[in-house]
Amino acid sequence: MTVTAQKADLAPLGFSQEDWDEVSDNPELTDEQLASLRPAAEMPAHIYALLPKRGRGRPRSEAPKVSLTLRLDPHVVEAYKATGAGWQTRMNEVLAKAIKTQA
């Protein structure tokens, strides 16, 4: 059994089927090998415990942001939203800078 990508899947990425075939150096699996494959969770516990574990989502921040409700004038919010994506981050930066200049 050979893993082949659909040409339609490769075209938007700029790869041809020939490109895919050239770099795919994995040996073909026989039907017997495919039938013998099992999920990692079915491995003996002492071997399964050695596998790397991956948590969900991004790693926890050492200084996580605080979620809160804040009432602002509409024209302030509209002005920041008009600057595009990331407006909350820019607003946070301005507030942080204001704290430093007051100190």
pLDDT tens for the 103 residues of the chain, in order:
344 545 456 666 777 778 777 777 777 889 999 999 988 778 888 887 887 777 788 888 899 999 999 999 999 999 999 999 999 999 999 999 999 999 7
Pull the structure tokens for residue 24. 């795919």
Q: What pLDDT is recorded for position 35?
A: 92
* Residue 68 · residue 42 · CB < 8 Å: no
Pull the structure tokens for residue 86. 């990331």
* Residue 80 · residue 90 · CB < 8 Å: yes
* Residue 7 · residue 17 · CB < 8 Å: yes
Rounded to 10°, the helix 87-102/74-81 angle is 120
- What is the number of alpha carbons within 13 Å of residue 74 lying toward its C-beta? 0
